[in-house]
Structures are given as C-alpha cells and as structure tokens.
Amino acid sequence: METRKLTKIGVLTSGGDAPGMNAAIRAVVKTGWYHNLEVYGIYRGYSGMIENDIRKFEDRDVSNIIQRGGTILRTARSKEFMTPQGRARAYENLKQHGIEALVIIGGDGSFRGAEIFSSEYDIPCIGIPGTIDKDMAGTDSTIGFDTAINTAMEAIDKIRDTMEAHGRLFVVEVMGRDAGYIALNSGISTGAESILIPEKKTNLLQLAQTLSDKNAKKKNVNLIVVTEGDEYGGAEGIKNYLKLTLPGTDVRMCILGHIQRGGSPTAADRVLATRFGYHAVQFLINGNYNVMVGIIKGEVQATSLHDAIKEREHINEEWISITETVV
C-alpha cells in the first residue's frame, strides 16, 4: 500500500469499552488537527460506519472528555460488518465523507475487522489497543487495564473489611474471559490467599486442602480471586465446590462485573491513551499502515494488525511462580 497524502481520517471505538478511550479519541483528533487533517467521528463502531452515523469533529466535541470513562463515540459489535455486503456499505459511506484512513480503538475482534476491510478497499488502518484485559501482543499495556485493576483492588479491599469482620471465606470474581491479568494484579495487590487464572489449571482438591489446613490453624478468613473464565465456572462454581468440601465454612461470593469497565481513567491510562492516539496519527502520516500502536519497555512499537490478532500476550512463568510462592 503506497504512502498517500491524507486529508480526512476517521476514528471509532469498537468492542468492549475501556476507561481511557476518550483520552485516545481526543489525542487522535487534536493530532490530526495539528497536521491540518479533518477528523470524523464514527459512532457505534462498525455499525455506525454501515449506517452512516459519521460526523466531522469540531472543537467542542473533544472538550472536557479526557477524564470521562466510557466512550463519547459509543461502541457496538457488528455482525453485519462481518459480511461483504456490510463492508461494502461501510466503504460507500466513507467515500461519501471523503474519509481516507481509519484509527480503530478496540481489541482483537476490532482489529480483525480492520484488517479485512483494509485489504478489500485499500483503506489504511491503525489499531489502538483498548481493552481492560491486557491480552494483546505487541504492547506492555492496553487502554483501561490500569483503571480496571485499581477499581478491582479498591472493591476487594472493601470486601476484605467485611470479610474479616465476619470471619468469612470470600470468592471474588473479576473480568478476564481468557486472560488472568486483572485477577493476577488485583489479587497480588490485595493479599489474596489464592488467585485462579485461565493460564494455570485450577486444582480444586489442592485448593480445598490448603483452605482446610488454614482453618485448622484458626485462619478462617480467606480471600480467593478468580477470573470469570475459570474452567470451573468462575466464582459461583468455586463457591459451590467449597461449600460442599468445607462444611461449616461461611463461603460468600462477589462478582465485580462491569464496574471494572467504568469510572474515570487513572493518570496512567490517560497518558497511555494520549500517547497511543498521537502515534496512531503519526503512523498514518508517515505511511506506516495497518499496524497496531504499542509500547514495549517504554518505547513505541508498531505491530502488524495480522500479528496483533494472531498472537496473544501470555503471562510469563515469573508471575506464575509469584502466585505460587507469595500468594
């Protein structure tokens, strides 16, 4: 794909929302304006592209949004965009507005759509990783992750207060269908006795024995942090098993759910999102197309959308060892 002189670009958010997306939108728009580009907001992700829910951004559109959670562009998952007919409609709408390139803020599903669309219609695309799960290869962090783990940590700290007051065993479920980063970080930071993540097989017999041994030592206050994607059914499955195997133990469950997606982004997420947004536009201007913006060891990196989709970030053995030793 040859480098071309761009005059109009579009930005959208797709898939699950993440705190800090608004900061990324703001950075894309302001960097575009700095380079004399017109920037268009595409509302409701690929669905909005198909339905022509597209509007040119003005100053007021990105004022006072850096501190807001969610996304001013809203987000959606579009089954229609997965069809050739849907993508054809989306392309015609982009042509109508003169949009020549796209910045997509989202996760691997969003990038998969971008890669297909760009190959079919020669539209340069840049991906910005926005997902609280931090499961994208090619970057050390993703927009929303820092806010999500701090939200989970604060909630678990509060749960621990009441847990200790009543001498209970609490199973707390955090988000992470296929990735255990939120559980790992929130569990370590709150002193959990056990952390159950998809990357490590859960041994229920060993878990029950460990808790039984602690009860014998009169330590009847225990905190278990588990991901929603745990093989035994998340918090509810673990709770039900422990109730059967540890009769007499007061086992309670709390599912933190979507509160982890909401709230004002932390300073770290605002800065990260701003840096991503700035470099996304720089990549487009410099002809570095169809890549995801990432930051590895403090340095900006470009990973092809194909590789970002194909590979997943994996929890390394050091963290597994820490959970086995310290937790």
Which DSSP category does 64 fall into? T
**Sign of the dihedral through C-alpha 300, 66, 47, 100:** negative
Place of tokens 């602690």: 214
The candidate with the shortest Cα–Cα distance to 131, out of 24, 208, 37, 225, is 24
Q: How far apart are CA 171 and CA 254, in angstroms?
A: 6
Catalytic residue among 133, 146, 230, 269: 133
Give yes or no for a contact between 11 and 28, defined as CB atoms under 8 angstroms apart.
yes
Strands 38-42 and 8-13: parallel
Question: Tokens for 156?
Answer: 């678990």
**H or E, element range at 58:** none
Neighbours of 159 (CB within 10 A): 18
Strands 38-42 and 194-196: unpaired
Is 133 one of the catalytic residues?
Answer: yes
Q: How far apart are CA 295 and CA 302, in angstroms?
A: 8
To 10 degrees, the CA torsion angle through 181, 185, 190, 196? 30
Neighbours of 245 (CB within 10 A): 16
Give yes or no for a contact between 98 and 4, defined as CB atoms under 8 angstroms apart.
no
| Catalytic residue ranges | 133
